[in-house]
Amino acid sequence: MIDYFSKVCRAAAAILRGHWITLKYMLKPSVTVHYPTEKLVPYERFRGALLFDAGACISCSMCVKACPSNCIALENAINEAGKKVAKVAWYSIDFGKCNFCRLCEEACPTKPKSVWHSLDYEVIFTKRDEMVRCWKKDFPFIGRYFDRGTQDFKDPEGQVRIHEVAPRRN
């Protein structure tokens, strides 16, 4: 009989302890982010979508050499005399192959970096063509993709940007 009442007392104490914890957290402010109307800003070292600045690039090919998955390609610009200059004619990254290791960013010698990871975590790809982003002079930082159907460069549709210009690491 004593065993029975001790079990009842322990169960009642456990229930009261659980209700106390629930009541304590119920009175605290909410920590839930109401996605998609509210967005979290990732921490500084987050590896989001790769962005590129054609104006800052000196076309040294260090990022191409450092990439272990061989997803970066570039071509040097050529002047009127037919010689290569320290500017990039076009630059492309295949996000289907990229493993976001950040070696391309670390290998870049320019200050500020010409290729860097942004804080954007909502990169949308609806077709395979959109996974290969290209940059030429005056292209936006997020790049454009080459649509094989229309044989033209297009801006990615539905691209959500956390920041208009993402912070770069020096």
In a domain, 164, yes or no: no
- Dmax over Cα atoms in the chain, in whole Å? 103
Report residue 150's pLDDT band, with 50, 70 and 90 as the boundaries. confident
End-to-end CA distance of the chain: 74
The pTM assigned to this predicted structure is 0.68
The DSSP line for 73-112 is EEEEEE-TTS-EEEEEEEEEEETTT-----HHHHH--SSS
Same domain membership, residue 142 and residue 67: yes
In a domain, 37, yes or no: no
Give the model's pLDDT for residue 133: 84
In a domain, 104, yes or no: yes
Residue 131 pLDDT > 90, yes or no? no
Q: At 16, which helix (H) or strand (E)?
A: helix 2-26
Among 10-19, 34-43, 83-92, 153-162, where is mean pLDDT lowest?
Answer: 153-162
Same domain membership, residue 120 and residue 58: yes
Residue 47 pLDDT > 60, yes or no? yes
Q: What is the pLDDT of residues 98-109, one digit of tens each?
A: 898 989 999 999
Percent with pLDDT over 70 in the chain: 92
Report residue 31's pLDDT band, with 50, 70 and 90 as the boundaries. confident
Residue span of the structural domain in which 6 resides = 1-31
In a domain, 38, yes or no: no
What CATH number is attached to the domain comprising 136?
A: 3.30.70.3270
Could you give the number of structural domains in the chain? 2
Among 47-51, 69-73, 151-155, where is mean pLDDT lowest?
Answer: 151-155
Mean pLDDT value across residues 131-136? 84
Question: Who's near 66: CB < 8 A, 6+ residues apart?
Answer: 103, 104, 106, 107
In a domain, 137, yes or no: yes
Same domain membership, residue 55 and residue 119: yes
- Cα 76–chain centre separation: 26
Give the model's pLDDT for residue 20: 94
